[in-house]
């Protein structure tokens, strides 16, 4: 009887201690641990959706130049469709330039070779710009960065952890350069396909002019990036119970000299909220 009572007492004690111990183990996770947990958790899911907003501001006063909303849907783990949603009064440049139906611009992406690649055959500069807002690609940028500072923010909402992730400035600049280089190559491909529509009588002249424009533009871009200062900070909200991402906010600040030698300032804010992770 005494043995039974002792066992019952121990059972009661362990039933009280184990949850506390589990909680304490969870509390010992570092920001890096939480990010690894989140990234690994996403790898095990094939479907999700996200809603995002992007704001582009310029100048020292950060005057808003453009803003728009977008949505994304991941299927079968490697097929991602992103589409802009343009509310009235916002994103007017995109709306008047590209959108005729009011459905927004669309970018189809595919996970291939360890990276998100544009799968759309009719991709252009606008769709490439949308693709660069892909929060799943941003998570890849964080994972690939060799130099980054991760910390846990205080005052996170109940049931969540908020990670502040700042990339090393040089690493941030190199990542941006790689993306812009890819977009420039995409522009060269676009021009090459459009050149085929030109009469053979003028094709040689048009090819020379387009090549000169691309070379000069690429050279200017290379110089701008070389002299640019970049700062990229992410705020990743993680669901403590599931370990999955709930929100990813990014802030990309750039300072660079324009062709006249005047320093330009711009900042891109993105805010993505994840849902329907399956």
Q: Exposed, middle or buried, 20 (CB in 10 Å: 0-12/13-18/19+)? A: exposed
In terms of average pLDDT, the best of 12-16, 39-43, 118-122 is 39-43
pLDDT, tens digit, 9 for 90 and up, residues 60-110: 889 999 888 999 999 998 999 999 886 543 433 433 333 334 456 888 999
| Phi, psi (deg, nearest 5) at residue 157 | -60, 155
pLDDT, tens digit, 9 for 90 and up, residues 131-162: 889 999 999 999 999 999 999 999 999 999 99
0.95 surpassed by pTM: no
Rounded to whole angstroms, the Cα distance separating 206 from 217 reads 16
| Domain architecture of the chain: domains with CATH | 32-169+226-275 (2.50.20)
Rounded to whole angstroms, the Cα distance separating 51 from 130 reads 13
Whether the predicted pLDDT of 114 surpasses 60: yes
Rounded to whole angstroms, the Cα distance separating 134 from 140 reads 10
Nearest CA to 108 out of 139, 125, 83, 86 is that of 83
pLDDT, tens digit, 9 for 90 and up, residues 30-51: 999 999 999 999 988 999 999 9
């Amino acid at each position: 009887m005494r043995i039974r009572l002792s066992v019952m007492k121990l059972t009661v004690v362990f039933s009280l201690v184990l949850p506390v111990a589990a909680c304490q183990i969870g509390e010992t996770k570092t920001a890096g641990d939480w990010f690894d947990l989140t990234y690994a958790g996403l790898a095990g899911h094939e479907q999700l959706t996200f809603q995002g907003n992007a704001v582009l501001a310029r100048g020292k006063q950060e005057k808003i130049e453009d803003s728009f909303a977008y949505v994304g849907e991941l299927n079968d783990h490697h097929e991602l469709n992103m589409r802009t949603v343009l509310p009235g009064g916002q994103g007017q440049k995109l709306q008047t330039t590209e959108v005729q139906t009011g459905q927004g611009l669309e970018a189809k992406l595919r996970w291939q070779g360890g990276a998100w690649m544009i799968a759309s055959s009719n991709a252009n500069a606008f769709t490439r710009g949308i693709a660069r807002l892909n929060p799943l690609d941003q998570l890849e940028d964080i994972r690939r960065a060799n130099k980054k500072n991760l910390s846990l923010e205080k005052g996170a909402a109940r049931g969540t952890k908020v990670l502040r992730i700042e990339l090393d400035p040089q690493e941030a600049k190199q990542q941006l350069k790689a993306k812009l280089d890819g977009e420039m190559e995409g522009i060269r491909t676009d021009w090459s396909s459009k050149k085929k529509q030109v009469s053979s009588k003028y094709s040689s002249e048009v090819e020379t002019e387009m090549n000169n424009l691309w070379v000069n533009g690429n050279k200017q871009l290379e110089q701008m990036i070389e002299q640019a200062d970049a700062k990229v900070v992410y705020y990743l909200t993680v669901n403590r119970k599931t370990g999955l991402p709930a929100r990813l906010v990014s802030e990309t600040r750039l300072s660079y000299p324009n062709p006249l030698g005047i320093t330009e300032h711009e900042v891109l804010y993105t805010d993505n909220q994840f849902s329907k992770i399956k």
